[in-house]
Structure 1
Amino acid sequence: MSGRGGGGRGSGRGGGGRGRGQGHRRGQPSQSSSRGGGAGGRARGRGSSGSTVTYNPPPPQMAPAQPPPQMAVAPPVPPSGAPFSHPSSSSGVGSLSREVSEKLTMEPVAVTTAPPLPPSSSKAIGFQPRPGFGTVGTKCLVRANHFLVDVANADLHHYDVTITPEVTAKKVNRAIMKQLIDVYKESHLGHRCPAYDGRKSLYTAGPLPFESKELVIKLPEEDRSEGSSRPARKERQFKVAIKLASKPDLHYLREFLSRRRFECPQEVIQVLGVILRSKPSQIYTEVGRSFFDTSLGPRGDLGNGIEYWSGYYQSLRPTQMGLSLNIDVSARSFYEPILVSEFVAKHFKRTNLSKPLSDQDHIKVKKALKGVRVKLIYMNYAKTCKIIGVSREPISQLIFTLDDMRTNVSVVKYFREKYNVVLKFPSLPALQSGSEVRPVYLPMELCSIVEGQRYTKKLNEQQVRSLLRATCQRPNVREGNVTKIVQVNNFEVEEPVAKEFGMHVRKELALIDARVLNPPALKYHDSGRDKIVNPSCGQWNMINKSPLVPEFLFIFSIHFKKVVNGGKVDFWTCVNFSSEYWNMSEDFCAELVKMCNSKGMVFRQTPSIAMRSARSDRIDQTLMDVYKESAGLNKPLQMLIIILPDQTGSYGKIKRICETELGIVSQCCKPLQASKFSNQYFENVALKINAKVGGRNTVLNDAILRRIPLVTDVPTIIFGADVTHLPPGEDSSSSIAAVVASMDWPEVTKYRGIVSAQTHLVEIIQDLYKQTKDPQKGLVPGGMVRELLLAFHKSTRQKPSRIIFYRAGVGGGQFSQVLLYEMDAIRKACSSLQEGYMPRVTFVVVQKRRDTRLFPTDRNKTDRSGNILPGTVVDTSICHPTEFDFYLNSHAGIQGTSKPTHYRVLFDENGFTADTLQVLTNSLCYTYARCTKSVSIVPPAYYAHVAAFRARYYIEDEMSDSGSTGGGRKPKDKVVEVRQLPSIKDNVKEVMFYI
């Protein structure tokens, strides 16, 4: 039976309520068929609480793919070849908020000089419905680290919890609640076994005997150890107020999973998630949605006083197959539980702690230790405290007032006389706890770092490599470890909370349908040996060499493929900052230039100014000398080849100087890799150089033949966007947004990039469109999208009729906010160029940090690493019940287990089908300029990520250690100034400088 829940127009998803079908967006034709059909799944009624409901509906019967929607509210797009004609007034821009918000079922945002961000609590909006399932590709079966969850018909109740005095630590809150349940379960709680989120919410499977009550508990002191002779202090007393807040209804979840309801009942999902986290949160260290413990796997040293712990990620989400528990193994960095003095020695590589710290080292030590909890080992009981800073003076110079408020005594003397401890390192500063007004000074050598504290600051390169090596697991090993985690937790048997709520987690990984998309044909230059290349297993090579030819005859026996468009370099030179390889510049550059020319570039063999070597402490002056010399000869450098110093840390400084001060495009080479004179290395560098000087390495053959649906038929621009933030624990006044856009059509291979600083930790890109006040001109339109649209028109002499916007780095809770603000900005940017100019937009969120993994079921159909094949796509079972999304594994694994990227279509005016968007996205992954392999993220989003990360170097020199020390939260009412980025020189912006 179709059209369930009648009374609504289109499909009756809302059961007589909203009744919205595919015609719910303006400009889209109404669909009379009911999405979700009448199958209804196995969600059985609202029976007695003893019955069990399995949320396992069949795949819905989706409506056929729609044609491109008719833009009822948008004027016809002007001819693409015509120049932009500026609007006569801003009235057109002013109406765009209403137009966009109507399409997105949201309230409009007023046009102001600085558009306000929509509140994070914006009402959820309806995202793009699934147009159907994909059919292209070779069918296969894969397993996913998703586990089906069954839930009984529990009578859910949500209670607000207020603890007095207020406690901020979730661990303490949980201890309070555990004590309360132990004391009052049989009496005031009516034998209930509640689930608690560690903050303000308590959930029960049925009502408590009251609607509001205040209970008192006493928490035993944690600091007191067994056998301590110290007299016990008075137990801490807490008042816990419990008040009924709401009654989440599982019926709405059943309706949503069986496609009879449009809105996802997030509160119900949240309740069930808290229930399944109840047991692990009590026994493991909780970090976000992950749990860690030394019992969950290997524990190892990362160096510098940091270690890693094993654990797992856990998340409950609604999918087509029903409620799914996503579990993946994980590892994170933790402080090593050692003496603080030992940590300082390890972390800062100090062999002699008897010497005082320099001012710079003092700042670094304070930054590394602020917020860390330590245990005082000189007392006969285990007291802990939190570090708020370190003293400016060494501990030998510190004097404080005793409790009698009259006697002053030195810290060194106090510990010698009171605890009979002679300090070994009196030149070190003291740790400071307590408060700024009344500090408590503690010797580093008498404080031990409490075990299980997450290290949230940025790891160095060596630590990252060590962590990756330690946690890298082949697919079969990872699959086994994931299964073991589910078995160990045994949610419904040993966990009384899950048992009370009637939750059952199945032990088997989900078996799901998938397809493997064919790789695209790639076009190279006609003068090369191979004009068309068909990649195999996600990779190909630009060099053909007989395996019988010895390496020393390599250059004479190879047949090169040539880049489709070779760049031209007339003016170049090389600077060598390596002291170990100081004399290799000429030979290295000769081989590199030879490789570039063999690839089809026109690269002059001799440098325009003399190559040189320089010390690493003269980077600024040397780069300036090179710039002045080339400018004096009227030969501005098109490429500067730089051999980096032997010690890491100079790359960012070099890029900042070249790109924002001198206007020089550079190629940096690590000295060790460069010294090996590997042809593969020369090839990779040559590909980067060609892209940086305006060339193109390869293009999709279907783009040349105009055979890419919804891309090559009319002028189309593809955007990529991302925002980068400093790592957790690092304070900064700015986050950095980057937007790139294709500058060639129909090839869509060359991407121009723009970067912008914005408010710290704000994910919405604030400068997509902006207006600045000019005393003469009034409000002047600008912004990143507008600038890139103008650049596209300058490059192609076309106005794009279609925009495809790949947006990376957005979490699920931010979809509505990001879509509302950024679509509005895109519309305003277009209208500011020409009144009525409104190209159709497809807005796709790219999520790489999802923890879904796909495992092969047939070991004979894998790549070399044992992973699923490149091109594997999934849009069933583990995907959203009704909205347009898919998982795509576009790359070959190297080591470990490949992670598919999740693509979520939030808004689509171009009428993409599942197949057209999946094939386009997979094909674009073969056009990444830096290598001859497909990549895991669609290149526009990848380039945006790389560009945003590059721009961090522009301000990191300014973010000196004398500034914020990190480790704590900023006050919510504190206004932090955005540190603006230095401008990138125009000639640098013209090319893909960031790759």
Structure 2
Amino acid sequence: MSAPAGLIYLSTSLIATDYSIVSSLSTAHITTVGVKRPDFSTGGTPVTIQVNSFQTTVPNSKIYHYDVVISPSEKTLPARMTMALIRRLQFDIAPQLFTPRCVYDGRKNIFSIHKLKFDTGSQEFDVTLADESPSASGKGPKVYKIKLTLVAEINPEVLHRFIEGKASHDNTVLTAITALNVVIRMQPSLSYPFNVRSFFTDRETKDIGAGLELWRGYFQSVRPGIGKMLINVDISTGTMYKKGPLLRLCLEYIKKDHPNALSPLSGFPDRERLRLQRFISGIRILTTHVGPDGQKHTTPRVLKKLSQAGANKLSFSMRDGTTMTVADYFRQTLNKPLQFPDVICAEVGSGALIPLELCDVPPGQLMRKQVPPEKTKDVLDFATKKPLDRLQSIKNGISVLDYGQSEYVRQFGMNVNCAMGPLKVQARVLKPPVLKYGPGSRQPTITPRDGAWNMVDKKFFKPVSIDRWVVVVYEQQRRFNAQSAQDMINGLCSSCRDVGIKLTPTQFITWENGQGRIGDQLRAAGAACAQKMGKGPQLIVVILPEGGNDIYTSVKHFGDITMGVATQCLKSSKCYRAKPQYYANVCLKINVKLGGINTIPDPSSVSVLTDPHNPTIVMGADIIHPAPGSDGRPSFAALVGNVDSDTAKYIAASRVQTSRQEMIEELESMSEHCLSMYMRYRQMAEGKASGTTAPKRIIFYRDGVSEGQFKQVLEQELPLIRKACATLKINPKITILVVGKRHHVRYGRSSCYVITSSLTSSRFFPMSEREADRSGNCRAGTVVDRDVAHPTEFDFYLQAHGGLLGTSRPAHYSVLYDENNFSADALQSLSFALCHVYARSTRSVSIPAPVYYADIVCSRAKNHYDPQGTVDFSDSATQVDEGQAASSLEQFRRGFKPLHQSQSTLMYFS
């Protein structure tokens, strides 16, 4: 629907789209990667909510797609530099050719609303950076050759047809959506620091120390909805290096005041130099020199590393064959005597050494490394906003984006309807499952409210008995004495008694040194118990000091891997004079680690899971990849599956695999393990007849893959699951869902670098306080499968958890494969129910429990390595070449120890 001045006006009566148009279409010719949407769901209570999306029009005229090649370029140039080159080309080199202006994605693609008037299909231009001055050696600015080649003409009609459900999600559609994304990002990319999908302004900042500050950013992405094209807008956070003298930034990072703290002669340790080097390597710095024209010029450079010696100890050869120290050079040749000649130098890309005091850091530089752990809380505090505050920030972002003033948005004929505010959509709030507790509970069943419940007057569904356990304290005895330990034991025993666990007080308490051999200490504690009780302990409770992460890793390795004994770690600061609620939460973990079951969904409320005629195994799979630059480290894969008929008791399998390999390489053996354990448990523990133990349905939730990898899941992982079934001579029907929550999605296809919106960047906002929970968020169970969902494929958004701090993020589910022919209602209620069986809390979680468990198993992969072994997880062991990476992977495979057999049947990861 169009209106004067190109704006789209929506009346409130049109909030609910006429879905009969979509559903009545004949879609036989439409191809999809995943399952075609079978229906729209109807369950739950209808409610209108707002989402952080704004409707936009689609261009009416053709879009011309050009391939960009910039040379010479031995390696990929930073997007900041390529954007500057294309800007120079359009505004200064050939403005008559590039009017109206084209849009550029910073990589390989330029899109134009008009066909560029080249003599042939391509043309090459010579371009220099406008701000490059002659170097100190007198060389002129570097000349780049930019070649543009027409590769495609895009008819926007394909987008109209696609959002109406009349066209397939093919390469043409993907490229057209990419073009629109590049259009809306062009103006902000020229005006602000950016990071592909987000840009950042200094209108709202926070100094967090360590040479860093946080800037408020805005994420924006064009994506298709049902019957409409949308721009999704959200706030983000950028971590920036502080502008100003590099010397000051370095001192702040190492927490020192005097510049000579950076002098090796004053005791600056080499390990601290390397830590600082990792922090600032790649940063852009500005230096000032006098050119051949006698004028001062500011030259941008990239810092590669830091020198091992100070400026007065570093010598280099002059052109006449003599040697000179860096300090002498700056004093004698450049007439710049150094204030701090003992301080180390910055080595830049050309190999030149520049004293830190002569370097400045320009503003707006994103730190593209991991935030120091001690600063994580500061980042979270800045990033966390209550729903109404976040919605207001998003509206503020719209004014910053100012789509109406962007020449690029106007030229491409996109009109964004900001006047109507965020899109209003029809949602529904699903009914939560009824949860069942054990005998002796005053309240045997409970219906969660706003995603939460409590354990008052309730006994675990299947509590365990523990009569042999030991306590090992790694906190200093003066801080955590015998009385503190006894108070902890009494508090834990009391809480266990309340939930049905039989835990007798223990006399086995030892204090150990965390610098010692953790494995020997735990074995000694276990041996003392075995000597007196006749058997080793069932549980080792470990009290950790602050900063005891290394001790924790060692405890988990020797407990889960070597000894086969359940361990429960407690922080001394948390359990010192702790309240019963703290120990109640500890009991949730202990019970399942020793084979108990905390709660189950009542069979009557989740018939999809508990149908005795269709026994069902639910699996969760995930992969975790090493941090950027960590080329010597592998990826880790995990698969988790239930073994019981109530989908409350899970086991896990984990593997090492090729670094950054997205598909799970050993899924066949991992699936075979989970399936065989399921059948064994049903026969041995539940007493099912041998012919009825096999699952008839597999529901496979896959985390950690983007849209561009959906096809790979179907082509590579689905056959491996089927092979595992064939090996076990079973033939269950398989359903595969991808669940996404944490990431913005980026992927490439063919020669075009395609950027799609994150299907997990959508946020839900209630229309009024009456429709919100206590945190101001939409209520747990809010589900959306209309308006903002995929035009043709089976997907939905589900916000399964109650809000705590900030704005809750719904998970996005895409159904890739479904032999079970589930309805939308069935899969939504099933997924919501699975968010309630996470054993470690009495709250529903944001994604199904098996997916959550798989994520935990991945993150704990390092526990499988001997802490006293040779495998190195430190930051310094990351830069390796290709040959070393292959050797390193093999080393990681060999060093990966399997779980102890006694732990392989238990929820050790809780």
TM-score of the superposition, structure 1-length normalised?
0.80
- 1:407 pairs with one of 322, 326, 333: 322
What per-residue deviation string (whole Å, max 9, x for no partner) do you get for residues 136-183 of structure 1? Answer: 111000010011110231111111222233361222211121122123
* 1:289 paired residue number: 197
How do residues 28-47 of structure 1 correspond to structure 2 at under 5 angstroms? none
- 2:423 pairs with one of 500, 510, 521: 510
How far, CA to CA, are the matches of 1:402 and 1:273 in structure 2? 51
CA contact (8 A) 1:927 1:934 kept: yes
- 1:812 pairs with one of 680, 697, 707: 707
Offset at 1:959? 2.5
Q: AA paired with 1:765? A: I
Q: AA paired with 1:964? A: A
1:723 and 2:623 aligned: yes
Offset at 1:366? 3.0
CA contact (8 A) 2:22 2:164 kept: no
What is the DSSP-based 3-state SS (H/G/I as helix, E as strand, rest coil) of the residue aligned with 2:298?
coil
How do residues 6-45 of structure 1 correspond to structure 2 at under 5 angstroms? none
* 1:886 paired residue number: 796
1:924 and 2:834 aligned: yes
- 2:156 pairs with one of 245, 250, 267: 250
How far, CA to CA, are the matches of 2:679 and 2:860 in structure 1? 26
1:847 and 2:740 aligned: yes
How far, CA to CA, are the matches of 2:214 and 2:541 in structure 1? 38
CA contact (8 A) 1:292 1:312 kept: yes
* 2:659 paired residue number: 760
1:565 and 2:462 aligned: yes
1:416 and 2:331 aligned: yes
Offset at 1:784? 0.8
How far, CA to CA, are the matches of 2:822 and 2:515 in structure 1? 54
Q: AA paired with 2:732? A: P
What is the DSSP-based 3-state SS (H/G/I as helix, E as strand, rest coil) of the residue aligned with 1:988?
coil
Select between 298-307 and 886-895 the one with higher mean Cα deviation. Answer: 298-307
How far, CA to CA, are the matches of 1:541 and 1:431 in structure 2? 57
Offset at 1:574? 0.8
How do residues 273-284 of structure 1 correspond to structure 2 at under 5 angstroms? 273-284=181-192
How do residues 774-785 of structure 1 correspond to structure 2 at under 5 angstroms? 783-785=669-671
CA separation of 1:304 and 1:53: change in aligned 2, threshold 3 A? closer
Offset at 1:648? 4.2
* 1:6 paired residue number: none
How do residues 383-782 of structure 1 correspond to structure 2 at under 5 angstroms? 383-404=299-320, 406-421=321-336, 423=338, 428-434=343-349, 439-491=351-403, 493-507=404-418, 508-543=421-456, 560-579=457-476, 580-583=479-482, 584-607=484-507, 610-618=508-516, 620=518, 621-630=520-529, 634-650=534-550, 651-702=552-603, 707-708=607-608, 712-745=612-645, 747-769=646-668
RMSD: 3.0
What per-residue deviation string (whole Å, max 9, x for no partner) do you get for residues 232-288 of structure 1? Answer: 863443332222111122222222222122234111111111111111111111213
Gaps of 5+ in 2: 291-295, 684-692, 743-759
Identity of counterpart residues, as a percentage?
30
TM-score of the superposition, structure 2-length normalised?
0.87
Q: AA paired with 1:345? A: L
How far, CA to CA, are the matches of 2:494 and 2:355 in structure 1? 61
What per-residue deviation string (whole Å, max 9, x for no partner) do you get for residues 769-817 of structure 1? Answer: 2xxxxxxxxxxxxx21111111111111211111001111111111111
Q: AA paired with 1:792? A: Y
How far, CA to CA, are the matches of 1:953 and 1:455 in structure 2? 29
How do residues 963-978 of structure 1 correspond to structure 2 at under 5 angstroms? 963-965=876-878, 975=886, 977-978=888-889
* 1:375 paired residue number: 286
What is the DSSP-based 3-state SS (H/G/I as helix, E as strand, rest coil) of the residue aligned with 1:790?
helix
Select between 136-145 and 378-387 the one with higher mean Cα deviation. Answer: 378-387
- 1:791 pairs with one of 654, 663, 677: 677
What is the DSSP-based 3-state SS (H/G/I as helix, E as strand, rest coil) of the residue aligned with 1:819?
helix
How far, CA to CA, are the matches of 1:960 and 1:946 in structure 2? 18
Offset at 1:694? 0.9
Offset at 1:224? 5.3
CA contact (8 A) 1:176 1:217 kept: no
What per-residue deviation string (whole Å, max 9, x for no partner) do you get for residues 659-715 of structure 1? Answer: 233323211111111113211111101111111111111111126x87336755422
How far, CA to CA, are the matches of 1:504 and 1:51 in structure 2? 6
Q: AA paired with 2:19? A: P
CA separation of 1:880 and 1:706: change in aligned 2, threshold 3 A? closer
What per-residue deviation string (whole Å, max 9, x for no partner) do you get for residues 275-320 of structure 1? Answer: 111111111112131111213xx21123322221110111111111
1:152 and 2:59 aligned: yes
CA separation of 1:962 and 1:668: change in aligned 2, threshold 3 A? closer
Q: AA paired with 1:540? A: W
CA contact (8 A) 2:651 2:907 kept: yes
* 2:82 paired residue number: 173
Q: AA paired with 2:710? A: F
Offset at 1:830? 1.1
* 2:97 paired residue number: 188
CA contact (8 A) 2:633 2:878 kept: no
How do residues 816-831 of structure 1 correspond to structure 2 at under 5 angstroms? 816-831=711-726
- More helix, by proportion: 2
How far, CA to CA, are the matches of 1:952 and 1:348 in structure 2? 28
CA contact (8 A) 1:391 1:431 kept: yes
What is the DSSP-based 3-state SS (H/G/I as helix, E as strand, rest coil) of the residue aligned with 2:380?
helix
Select between 821-830 and 370-379 the one with higher mean Cα deviation. Answer: 370-379
How far, CA to CA, are the matches of 1:289 and 1:346 in structure 2? 30
How far, CA to CA, are the matches of 1:675 and 1:321 in structure 2? 58
- 2:117 pairs with one of 209, 215, 230: 209
* 2:897 paired residue number: 982
Q: AA paired with 2:59? A: A
* 1:240 paired residue number: 146
What is the DSSP-based 3-state SS (H/G/I as helix, E as strand, rest coil) of the residue aligned with 1:806?
strand
CA separation of 1:956 and 1:181: change in aligned 2, threshold 3 A? farther
Offset at 1:442? 2.6
Offset at 1:587? 1.5
CA separation of 1:186 and 1:410: change in aligned 2, threshold 3 A? closer
Q: AA paired with 1:132? A: D
* 2:757 paired residue number: none
CA separation of 1:876 and 1:956: change in aligned 2, threshold 3 A? farther
How far, CA to CA, are the matches of 1:163 and 1:152 in structure 2? 29
CA contact (8 A) 1:571 1:639 kept: yes
- 2:727 pairs with one of 811, 823, 832: 832
CA separation of 1:241 and 1:647: change in aligned 2, threshold 3 A? closer
Select between 589-598 and 847-856 the one with higher mean Cα deviation. Answer: 589-598
- Equivalent pairs counted in the alignment come to 844
How far, CA to CA, are the matches of 2:251 and 2:654 in structure 1? 39
1:858 and 2:773 aligned: no
What per-residue deviation string (whole Å, max 9, x for no partner) do you get for residues 25-45 of structure 1? Answer: xxxxxxxxxxxxxxxxx699x
